[in-house]
Structure 1
């Protein structure tokens, strides 16, 4: 059994809908060998990262940077996982009111330092809320969980 950890900052109903979509994708009924754990950045820590086989990060864009909650998660987890989880498959979605590039750069620099492995380019959900953001994040959760289950990543 593989374990996928979703760490998502959900300060609004829309960002909660994105997290719920990631979970729906990661727990698709046809996936039989992946367990999905969802935690906020404040709940998740190094033990959660050490227990997972892949991680999906979700954040808002805050002043051109990741959410303070996700930064707090990285601050508390970084040194506790850096040696044991090199190569961890990861993915990211960003709910960006602007362009999301600063947020992407910030998360990428930490992921690079951790030596985690992107399974695809970050999904940046730009501008005003669009209902089609939800299925995009659901597909991301499904893709990552399917890839874990089948040994692709």
Structure 2
């Protein structure tokens, strides 16, 4: 069985909505053989990443950047994972009030340094999430799960 790790900083009801949509997509009955594990960004470790076959990252946009919690996750795992997790498929969702460009750029810069491979375009939501935003988050979760599915 493959393992999909969702590392998230869910600091608001809006982020909870996005997270739940991602998790629902990742656990869809249409994809078999994938265990979904969720970790708060402040609790996720390098061991969690080593045990994962794919990762989804979720963060609010804070002052034009990813949350401090997700940055802490990267600070914790970067060097231990640098060589052993190259080509790890990943996806990203972010939420901001007006702009998410800086947060997306920052996460993509770090994942590029790690050698991770983007398996789905980032889902960047600004303002209140609409039906299309939640559907995009569902698709993100389902795509990552399908990408690592052994079936």
Q: TM-score, normalised by structure 1?
A: 0.93
Q: TM-score, normalised by structure 2?
A: 0.94
2:17 counterpart residue number = 17
2:31 counterpart residue number = 31
Greater than 4 Å deviation, 4+ residue runs: none
Aligned: 1:115 with 2:115:
yes
Measured after TM superposition, the shift of residue 150 of structure 1 is 5.4
2:52 counterpart residue number = 52
1:68 counterpart residue number = 68
Consecutive unaligned residues of structure 1, counting only runs of 5 or more, are: none
Aligned: 1:43 with 2:48:
no
Aligned: 1:134 with 2:141:
no
1:5 counterpart residue number = 5
Measured after TM superposition, the shift of residue 130 of structure 1 is 2.5
CA distance in 2, matches of 1:23, 1:92: 13
What are the Cα deviations for residues 1-44 of structure 1, in whole angstroms up to 9, with x where unaligned? 11100011101112112111111111112322111001110111
> What's the Cα RMSD here?
1.3
CA distance in 1, matches of 2:98, 2:142: 26
What are the Cα deviations for residues 69-107 of structure 1, in whole angstroms up to 9, with x where unaligned? 000000011111111000100110111212211111111
Consecutive unaligned residues of structure 2, counting only runs of 5 or more, are: none
